[in-house]
Amino acid sequence: MQDSPARPGSDQARGDATGRRRFLVSAARALGAVTVVGAYPAWRLLTRPDAAAPLRRTSWAMGTQVTLSLPTDAGADDWTRAVFSELVRIQDLLSAHDERSALSVLNAAGRSVVAAPELREVASAALRFAAQTDGAMDVTVLPALRAFGFMPGTADAAFRDRIGASHLHVDDASVTLDAGGYAVDFGGIAKGYGVDRAVADLRAMGNPAALVDAGGDLFAHGRPAPDRPWKVGIRDPRHVERILGRFDVEDEAVATSGTYFQKRVVDGREVSHLFDPRTAEPVAHVLSATVVAPDAMTADALATAACVLETARCRALFESMPGIEALWVSAEGTITMTEGMRRRVELI
């Protein structure tokens, strides 16, 4: 889920632009790498003056800016069309903001609908992630998001009783929600799924290397050059114009989620857009969590769960999951990493 973009020319837009420029300059100095991606809330690509910049194409899909980075312009037009059209197609199916989407039809009907294969696939994955994370990643949290004003729509006083993955059902032909005001938001999983689908299209077309980034959920396909992988810089949530650390990625996904970016004041208290589905309360103990995974949907979902679960418990869970690494920044500024992440990340 993304904040509404600032109106061009407004004070907010000018301030955002100034902040981005500061971030780009400081990140370039800190990383000194050919290609660097700065993490949540927006990923940025940087180049050294003495290095050939990768080709970059940007568009808007799934509620965020999407950037496609390519080492060469050979085939770039075809690859760009494939990536952006696939992400828009997934958005049209899975957006909770579009009343015409397959997801919104499900939410409005409240019962079973004949579901698109993509809807069934993502709903099935959501149930799997809910089970893996003891309910910390639960797409039925939409009533809480509505109650706190992060999503359009109304929620009654009993919205906390309207959350629970056990009320979402998937079979070979349909996705079903129990009656009684249950509703689904795929905001913590759909972007990653879209990135994975776009990368699959690139591979099918013979693309050798690309970085597909949808507002903080990315997949690094191949290498931008034979002698180097893609390099990722993690934004410091305590000082958003700075880079906290850097590491290399190749044929894997990275996603960052956090409580420091999207906030609202509700009944006199500042709350984040991330909720613990088990309590229907906003979480605040983690500023950001960055997850590396074999695919972007998994990274997306687990980055959300990493902000909800108690960090030591979540770290133990991730240590037991092959191919999963993570880095947390707590509300107090403490940095915690899985052992595999500790071996990869160079803190700055």
> b or e along 238-268 (b: 16 or more beta carbons within 10 Å of the residue's beta carbon)?
eebbbbbbbbbbeebbbbbbbbbbeeeeeee
What are the sequence ranges of the domains in the chain? 51-96+187-219, 102-177, 229-348
The Cα–Cα gap between 257 and 272 comes to 11
**pLDDT > 70? residue 134:** yes
More confident residue, 18 or 287: 287
Task: Measure the CA–CA gap between 320 and 145, rounded to whole angstroms.
Answer: 31
Supply the pLDDT for residue 216. Answer: 84
Say which CATH architecture domain 102-177 belongs to.
Orthogonal Bundle (1.10)
| CA 59 and chain centroid, separation | 17
- Assess whether the region 51-96+187-219 and the region 102-177 belong to the same CATH fold: no
Overall fold of domain 229-348: T-fold (3.10.520)
Q: Tell me, which fold does domain 51-96+187-219 have in CATH?
A: T-fold (3.10.520)
Lowest average pLDDT, out of 175-179, 292-296, 310-314, goes to: 175-179
**Residue 150 predicted with pLDDT over 70:** yes
Report which of 111, 170, 133 is spatially closest to residue 289, judged by C-alpha positions: 133
Q: Residue 16 burial by CB count (10 A; 0-12/13-18/19+): exposed, middle or buried?
A: middle
Which of 109-118, 270-279, 295-304, 309-318 has the lowest average pLDDT? 270-279
pLDDT digits (tens, 9 = 90+) for 214-267: 988 999 999 999 999 999 899 999 888 899 999 999 999 999 998 766 666 767
- Mind listing the pLDDT tens digit for each residue in 40-57? 333 333 333 334 557 999
Which residue did the predictor score with more confidence, 218 or 1? 218
Per-residue pLDDT, averaged over 299-309, amounts to 96
